[in-house]
Amino acid sequence: MSMANLQRMAMQMQQSVERVKQELADARVDGSSGGGVVKAVVTGDQKLVSVAIDPSAVDPADVEMLQDLIVAAINDALRAARELGDSKMAAVTGGLRLPGM
């Protein structure tokens, strides 16, 4: 394989990676906890977009439970975003783990 072919392949991969990064930034992934009483939405690149809390989850006598539900919903959404990102990047890189991806 010539150096020119390697450079062309590297450029194509870089363009594909940039396209996937943009797709992930535009994607929305949901997470929830407590049977759906707390929902979180994150982008595919793991930025929190919103949190929705059903009024039934709000108990002034048990704020700690609500806090735990919020954390769990966000973590659920972030896990789904990581899985989406890993899947999309694996399709571009052929499963190679590239630094910073």
Supply the pTM of this predicted model.
0.82
Mapped onto helix, strand or coil, the DSSP state of residue 40 is strand
Q: So what's the pLDDT on residue 8?
A: 87
pLDDT at 99 over 60: no
Q: pLDDT digit string (tens) for 60-91?
A: 999 999 999 999 999 999 999 999 999 998 88
Give residue 93's pLDDT.
Answer: 75
pLDDT of residue 90: 87
Per-domain boundaries in the chain: 3-93
Q: Report which residue type is found at 7.
A: Q
| Whether the predicted pLDDT of 29 surpasses 80 | yes
How do the residues of the chain divide into helix, strand and coil, expressed in percent and rounded to 5? 65, 20, 20
Closest alpha carbon to 85 in 40, 27, 16, 3: 27
Total residue count of the chain as it appears in this document: 101
CATH number of 3-93: 3.30.1310.10
